Amino acid sequence: MAAKPFKSAIGFVDWNTAVIASGAKVRAKRVETITERALEHVERVVADHLVGSGADSKFQVRLRLYAGWHSGTTPSDYLQGIASVTEGYARRARLYREDRVIFLGGHDGLQPGNRLALVPRRLAPRHDVHLLDTLRYRDGVQHEKMTDTALAVDLLGLAHRKAADRYIVVSDDDDMLPGIFAAEATGADARMLSRPDMISRFMAHAKDLVHTYESVGT
Q: Say how far apart CA 173 and CA 92 lie, in whole Å.
A: 30
* pLDDT computed for residue 196 by the predictor: 83
Domains delineated in the chain: 6-212 (3.40.50.1010)
* pLDDT computed for residue 55 by the predictor: 64
Q: Say how far apart CA 86 and CA 15 lie, in whole Å.
A: 15
E strand or H helix at 22:
helix 15-22
pLDDT in tens, 67-97: 999 999 999 999 999 888 887 776 665 666 6
* pLDDT computed for residue 130 by the predictor: 97
The CA-atom distances, in angstroms, between 154 and each of 91, 117, 166, 180, 198 are: 26, 6, 14, 11, 23
Say whether pLDDT at 114 is over 90. Answer: yes
Q: Yes or no: say if 100 and 140 are a contact pair by the CB < 8 Å rule.
A: no
* pLDDT computed for residue 104 by the predictor: 87
Q: Yes or no: say if 170 and 18 are a contact pair by the CB < 8 Å rule.
A: yes
Q: Give the confidence band of 216 by pLDDT, cuts at 50, 70, 90.
A: very low
Say whether pLDDT at 159 is over 90. Answer: yes
E strand or H helix at 176:
none
The reported pTM is: 0.92
Query: Among 80-84, 97-101, 135-139, 207-211, where is mean pLDDT lowest?
Result: 97-101
State the pairing for strand pair 141-144/135-138.
antiparallel
